[in-house]
Structure formats: C-alpha cells, structure tokens
Amino acid sequence: MLPRLFPFDPLAFGLAVAREFGDIAHYSLGPLHVYQLNHPDFARQILVEQPEKFHKARLIKRAFRPFAGEGLLTSDGALWKRQRRLMQPAFHHGHLVTYGAVMVEYAARMADMFRDGQTLDVDAAMSKLTLRIVVKTLFGADVAGEAEEVGRLMVSVLDAANQRLNSALQLPSWVPTARNLREKHALARLDEILQGLIATRRSSREQANDLLSVLLRATDEDNGSGMSDQQLRDEMMTLFLAGHETTAMALTWTWYLISQHPDVEARLHAELDRVLHGRSPAAADLVQLPYTEMVVREAMRLYPPAAGFAREPIADVTIGGYTVPKGSLVTVNTYALHRDPRFFEEPERFNP
Ligand code: HEM
C-alpha cells in the first residue's frame, strides 16, 4: 500500500513508488497518466537512445514558458538542436575559466563576512551568492547598478514558476493570485531591462566575456545567422532559471553534509591545504582536487538539486516491455535512482 504522500512529500512518494513497484511504475494523477522510470537503462533510452520519440513535458513547459519562453529547457526538435549548437561555445573551457574567477571572487567576498561561532542561514547565504554569480556571469558589468533589482525580479518570477510546477495538478494556472500579479510586473520590468541590454550590446564594439556577449556573437555554421532578440532573451532567462537555485541547493546540502561528517571535513581541508597552500582556487586547480569533487558529487547524489526530470512520448512507445501511451508523463526519479541499493552500496550513507 502506497503512503498518501503526494503532493505533500513528493520525494518520499517517488521513493515509495520505486521501492514498491520496481523499474517502471504507472499511476494516475487526475486525468494524467504518469510512468515513473526507476532504472538508468530507461533514462538512457529516453535521453540518449530514442530522444526523438519524446518532447519536454507539458507540465514543465506550462510552469516555465511564461518566463523562459522557447529557451533550451522548454524547447524541442529542430529549434532545440540549433540552439544547443549555437550555445555550445559559451561553455568552452576558456569561458569557464572566466566564470570560475567570478565565482571565486564572489565566494571569497562572502566568506570574508562570516565569523567563527556565528549562526548562519546557509540556504539564504548560498542563494544570495549564486544569485550574484549568475547575474554577473550572464550579464557582466552592465547590470552592476541593476544587479540587485534584476536578482529580485528574477526571484519573483522563479517563485511563480515553481509554484506553478508544484501546484500544476491542483490549481488552475489562471487563478489571479498575488504571486501571479507580482510575476507579471516583474516580467515586464525584466523584459525592459533585457531589451535595453541587448540593444546596447548589439550596437557596441566591445568584446565582453559574459554569457550575453558570447551568445550575441554566436552564429549558425550552416547559414551564418545568429539569434533573434526574443530567442536571446529566452535563453538568458533559461540560464538564470537553470543556474541559480540548482547551484545554491547543491552548495547548501554540501555544507550540511560536511558539517555532519568531521572525517570528511578533515580530509577535504587536507586536500585543499596541500594543493592550494592557502591561496584562492582557480579552474585549473580542479584536476588536482579529486576528493573535493567527490564530496560535491556525493552530496548531489544524496540530495540531487533537480530531483527528477520528465518527458512526454509524441507517439506510443515501448519502455521495459510496456506500452507507454502518447501524451503521458514519463518521469525519471533521480532521487530514487540515487538511493537504489542495486547501484549504490549503502545508499543512505554520505561516503565521498
Ligand atoms: C548543481 C547544479 C545543477 C544541476 C543539479 C542541474 C540539473 C539539470 C538537469 C537535471 C537538467 C535536465 C533537465 C531535462 O532534461 O529535463 C538540466 C538542464 C539544463 N541545465 Fe542544469 N543543472 C545545474 C546547473 C546549471 C547551470 C549553472 C546552468 C547554466 C548557467 C544550467 C543550465 C541548464 C540548461 C540550459 C539546461 C537545458 C539543457 C537542454 O535541454 O539542452 N544548469 N540541468
């Protein structure tokens, strides 16, 4: 018997479904047929082997499109493929080194304000940190004066999108809540700021290294065309959406787990001391910090910031011998997969 955990505790619900029903489980949420996949081979099937048979889930699009439009996260098919190709260079190693320097600078500035013995709301601190980093790496110096405002507006919009996602099965999306009105005003102001930024950058000859500039320079190899202002706006919003809360959550859980495991903390410090000798890290140091990387990866295994993802078959499809009908919701429950004893020894233990 399944605990009646949905929608109050979706993580426990997903885990209970996986444990009780195995690799593929079907349940209904109102009119929606959900197929929860609990095996990495099935994740591979929908993401790698047969991606053309699936679109992004309507549920996700409904939650995020008002904000992220046709950006990478919410687009499909030819548009998605073209955008992936256009945006790939923005994530080349050279750019990551530049973004890494921003991350280190902002993290060091925040760490300087912490005092021994102080009680901290780590979640709030990490959220503030990654917000500053994402605004700076996406928009560069141009929003220096508006960074706080852009951050605040983005958070209002993200809050409304998350609410739509979490309540997508209970509340119709047209209900004019205070949150939805806040979102509308925030979006209008954000669009104004973004359009201004894009126009200024297009007319300037300056070659800045923030993501906006890199995306402005991106051109299609086949026909030399770049992105329209609208597409650029959608991708900037998407990168903000994808990059802010996920990274804050990964950091928060990492600090929590380190605080509970002094042995891990000691080993982590030993590696950092040995490699960095007290100086600030840079992207080039990462290869020398394997234990540090294992700590972060292990924290994301136990507490994956995106607890799952979803797709929708565009025609009936066979998964694990079952027919999964067109239009149903196919989910991969990352949280449950990461706690499956078939794939991880002692899955509940934090063991970098
Ligand atoms: C710990 C941090 C992060 C986690 C756990 C995470 C997790 C994920 C997951 C699970 C997806 C797949 C969604 C799906 O296919 O349905 C995804 C997609 C994506 N993420 Fe992240 N992400 C993180 C950080 C970031 C950052 C920092 C950025 C950019 C600044 C970013 C940009 C994106 C984009 C653009 C996509 C869509 C890719 C596509 O469909 O082509 N993510 N992320």
Q: Domain holding 188: CATH number?
A: 1.10.630.10
Could you tell me if 111 and 222 lie in one domain? yes
pTM for the full predicted model:
0.92
Could you tell me if 180 and 220 lie in one domain? yes
User: For the chain, what is the domain count?
Assistant: 3
Distance CA 162, CA 312 (A): 20
9 inside domain: yes
CB 198 within 8 A of CB 213: no
Closest-CA residue, ligand 1 atom 28, reads 243
Report the pocket of ligand 1 as residue ranges, CB < 6 Å. 72-73, 84, 238-239, 242-243, 246-247, 250, 305-306, 309
pLDDT at 218 over 90: no
CA proximity to 121, closest of 28, 244, 22, 255: 255
Work out which ligand 1 atom sits closest to the CA atom of 75: 40
- Rounded to the nearest angstrom, the distance between the alpha carbon of 238 and the centre of ligand 1 is 9
Average pLDDT, the chain: 90
329 inside domain: yes
Could you tell me if 238 and 252 lie in one domain? no
Could you tell me if 149 and 217 lie in one domain? yes
332 inside domain: yes
Could you tell me if 79 and 195 lie in one domain? yes
Distance CA 60, CA 72 (A): 12
Task: Identify the CATH number of the domain in which residue 311 sits.
Answer: 3.30.43.20
pLDDT at 146 over 80: no
- Rounded to the nearest angstrom, the distance between the alpha carbon of 241 and the centre of ligand 1 is 9
- Rounded to the nearest angstrom, the distance between the alpha carbon of 309 and the centre of ligand 1 is 10
pLDDT digits (tens, 9 = 90+) for 275-317: 999 999 999 999 999 999 999 999 999 999 999 999 999 999 9
pLDDT at 63 over 90: no
Distance CA 142, CA 153 (A): 17
Could you tell me if 4 and 122 lie in one domain? no
Could you tell me if 127 and 274 lie in one domain? no
Ligand 1 pocket test, candidate residues 95, 127, 246, 300, most atoms within 8 A of CB? 246
Distance CA 3, CA 150 (A): 41
Buried (b) or exposed (e) across 85-95, using 16+ Cβ within 10 A?
A: ebbeebeeeeb
pLDDT at 172 over 70: no
Could you tell me if 82 and 228 lie in one domain? yes
Mean pLDDT check: name the lowest of 37-51, 188-202, 289-303.
Answer: 188-202
Backbone angles phi, psi at 330, to 5 degrees: -105, 120
Could you tell me if 338 and 221 lie in one domain? no
64 inside domain: no
The pLDDT, as a whole number, for residue 214 is 87
Its domain, for residue 290, covers 247-299
39 inside domain: yes
Distance CA 352, CA 348 (A): 12
253 inside domain: yes
3-state secondary structure 102-149: HHHHHHHHHHCCCCCCCCCCHHHHHHHHHHHHHHHHHHHHHHCCCHHH
75 inside domain: yes
